[in-house]
Chains A and B, each alone.
Chain A
Amino acid sequence: MPHNTQQLEDFVTQVRRDILRQVHKVNSGHPGGSLGCAEFFVALYQEVMEYSTDFTMDGLNEDLFFLSNGHISPVFYSVLARSGFFPVEELATFRHIDSRLQGHPTTHEGLPGVRIASGSLGQGMSVAIGAAEAKKLNKDSHIVYSLHGDGELQEGQNWEAIMYAAGHKVDNLIATVDLNGQQIDGSTDDVLPMGNVKDKFLAFGWEVLEIEKGNNIVEIIKGLEEAKALTGKGKPVCVLLKTVMGNGVDFMMHTHAWHGKAPNDEQLATGLEQNPETLGDY
């Protein structure tokens, strides 16, 4: 269903609250990358993807999404719940014992909307390619989307997958890389410089599309629609999404400090103040 920009931004604001509250409650989790990708997830699930909330694992005749950098589960869970996959109240169980909302997303507990476990990095691209190949065999013209961290590209399996997707013309795949330039130990340039990521994907034979304002939902939707138009032409499509880690909570922005750290009571209050309730807290 089409939304106006204000509705989408309100959605994002609520998702930010959900992220902060999930992580704060258990004093663990990954708010930085989650906040940085809030607009992307809302764009994907509210505007771009075709899917049914009547979840089936096989996902025939619908678009699929795979989260490879599973540690940003708070944003995934929030958007899945608020898109209708499971009750929003369940967000209160994030990282609790006996919860379907494990620290990293899994299929093990049967949470609707999740089709693969992720958390050990570098595996999601291969899974997405496999699902895309299955779609081709099934004569299903829908698209497979995936999201990867930029630091995650340091895992070698990605490059096996990137080589395969181009070599075998997996052109029903849109793999987005969250280019926030940060990882646990510091900036990606300090930890393991990756050079020009765009040139690397191009050299491997991918279509590459850059979204410079990766926290602007209008720009993201425009970029993903352009990416969609590039599918079906013999090449896999990479979207380089330039985001700010911790976006929307001023003291969490532009730093790796909040990669895997929860806010305290005071910090939570500040973060929530900056993001007033829009769709109703769980």
Chain B
Amino acid sequence: MKKYTDTGKKDTRSGFGAGLAELGKTNENVVALCADLTGSLKMDEFKANHPERFFQVGIAEANMIGMAAGMTIGGKIPFTGTFANFSTGRVYDQIRQSVAYSGKNVKICASHAGLTLGEDGATHQILEDIGLMKMLPGMTVINTCDFNQTKAATIAIAEHDGPVYLRFGRPKVANFTPEDQKFEIGKAVQLTEGNDVTIVATGHLVWEALLAAEELEAKGISAEVINIHTIKPLDEEAILASVAKTGCIVTAEEHNFLGGLGESVARVLAENKPAPQEFIATKDTFGESGTPAQLMEKYGLNANAIKNAAEKVIKRK
């Protein structure tokens, strides 16, 4: 099995900040809007280098989304930055009408997604955002796995004409994807080859899936790990090709199992070739305060949980 090396733990939000800083230099149409979380979103460098293209809107997310929609009229490419909760649920109707239905080229960039923002607790731990965003016609939904991929995705979405939801997080997680890997929207990345089970993961659970695959290998089980960084449009071909070989699948995400990646995969399988599936996701619950590691353990989102799910789903074949 192909091995991957963690080159040092880094937060994905810093990948966003680095990507945005680079876009500032290379694309003069890129503008950034932030709702009083510049430091948390790592937008400081862009702000320092391009103050005229940085718009501090204050704690007023609805106005931020509307302004971003307006700024596309005139050719700007707005990147909005706040926490995932305030990027989606709080401003759903603004995104729906002014961005998605109006077909505006706005990039909604969301940090602190999921449980792993940790101690702040459930008010800030949105586990419904992927579902909210993927239901909007025309919206591209991306959840990146590490620093390098988040940086690459940030740069790539500026070239994509249309609304994008880019989801990343607060904690420092393994950085293992190649620094020079080009980000292709909607194209899954197969990380390992395997015959017994497909593990499709998104966000930082991709690394957990790789750890699970190593443990499975030690038990003589070969797992095919696929990084689904783009939840919409979903790389259906990659999923179907892998499941045709393995006959079963585990989906893994830091999100509610209602409305997340797992449900999108289940639909693809149901429409094409039904196969047993296990869901690594939160099970219709709110989160709570705790350290990221404690929360991942308690809510069953780590490598161990993925390994157990893989063994279970193989038995269901």
Could you say which residues of chain B place their CB within 8 Å of the CB of A59?
73-74
* Interface mask (A126-168 → B, CB under 8 Å = 1, otherwise 0): 1111111111011010000000000000001100110110011
* B156 → A minimal CB distance (Å): 23
Asked if A137 and B31 sit within 8 Å, CB to CB, the answer is yes
Contact (A120, B67) CB under 8 Å given A131-B74, A134-B73, A138-B75: no
Q: Of all chain B residues, which has the CB nearest A60?
A: B74
Is there a chain B Cβ closer than 8 Å to A209's Cβ?
no
* B117 → A minimal CB distance (Å): 24
Asked if B102 and A120 sit within 8 Å, CB to CB, the answer is no
Is there a chain A Cβ closer than 8 Å to B68's Cβ?
yes
Is there a chain A Cβ closer than 8 Å to B103's Cβ?
yes
User: How distant is the Cα of A107 from the Cα of B162 in the complex, in angstroms?
Assistant: 14
Asked if B73 and A64 sit within 8 Å, CB to CB, the answer is yes
Asked if A130 and B97 sit within 8 Å, CB to CB, the answer is no
User: How distant is the Cα of A128 from the Cα of B53 in the complex, in angstroms?
Assistant: 17
Q: Of all chain A residues, which has the CB nearest B100?
A: A117
User: How distant is the Cα of A135 from the Cα of B104 in the complex, in angstroms?
Assistant: 17
Q: Of all chain B residues, which has the CB nearest A133?
A: B71
Asked if A138 and B74 sit within 8 Å, CB to CB, the answer is yes
Is there a chain B Cβ closer than 8 Å to A118's Cβ?
yes
User: How distant is the Cα of A141 from the Cα of B118 in the complex, in angstroms?
Assistant: 47
Asked if B58 and A164 sit within 8 Å, CB to CB, the answer is yes
User: How distant is the Cα of A126 from the Cα of B65 in the complex, in angstroms?
Assistant: 8
Which of B53, B74, B94, B98 gathers most chain A CB within 10 Å? B74
Is there a chain B Cβ closer than 8 Å to A125's Cβ?
yes
Is there a chain A Cβ closer than 8 Å to B101's Cβ?
yes
Asked if B67 and A164 sit within 8 Å, CB to CB, the answer is yes
Asked if B66 and A127 sit within 8 Å, CB to CB, the answer is yes
Could you say which residues of chain B place their CB within 8 Å of the CB of A127?
66-67, 69-70, 73, 98
User: How distant is the Cα of A66 from the Cα of B70 in the complex, in angstroms?
Assistant: 10
Asked if B97 and A134 sit within 8 Å, CB to CB, the answer is no
Contact (A131, B60) CB under 8 Å given A108-B101, A116-B102, A117-B97: no
Interface range for A: 35 or more
* A54 → B minimal CB distance (Å): 16
Is there a chain A Cβ closer than 8 Å to B55's Cβ?
yes
Q: Of all chain B residues, which has the CB nearest A167?
A: B58
Is there a chain B Cβ closer than 8 Å to A115's Cβ?
yes
Could you say which residues of chain A place their CB within 8 Å of the CB of B64?
126
Asked if A107 and B102 sit within 8 Å, CB to CB, the answer is yes
Asked if A130 and B66 sit within 8 Å, CB to CB, the answer is yes
Q: Which of B67, B74, B96, B102 contacts A140 (CB 8 A)?
A: B74
Asked if B98 and A117 sit within 8 Å, CB to CB, the answer is yes
* B137 → A minimal CB distance (Å): 9
Q: Of all chain A residues, which has the CB nearest B137?
A: A108
User: How distant is the Cα of A122 from the Cα of B94 in the complex, in angstroms?
Assistant: 9
Could you say which residues of chain B place their CB within 8 Å of the CB of A131?
70-71, 73-74
Asked if B63 and A157 sit within 8 Å, CB to CB, the answer is yes
Is there a chain B Cβ closer than 8 Å to A112's Cβ?
no
Asked if B74 and A160 sit within 8 Å, CB to CB, the answer is no
User: How distant is the Cα of A115 from the Cα of B102 in the complex, in angstroms?
Assistant: 8
User: How distant is the Cα of A126 from the Cα of B66 in the complex, in angstroms?
Assistant: 5
* A116 → B minimal CB distance (Å): 5
* Interface mask (B78-115 → A, CB under 8 Å = 1, otherwise 0): 10000000000000011011100111100000000000
A-B residue pairs in contact (CB < 8 Å), sample of 28: A59-B74, A106-B101, A106-B102, A108-B102, A115-B73, A116-B69, A116-B70, A118-B97, A120-B97, A123-B93, A123-B98, A125-B66, A126-B98, A127-B69, A130-B66, A130-B68, A130-B71, A132-B70, A133-B67, A134-B73, A140-B74, A160-B60, A160-B63, A161-B67, A164-B57, A164-B67, A167-B58, A168-B55
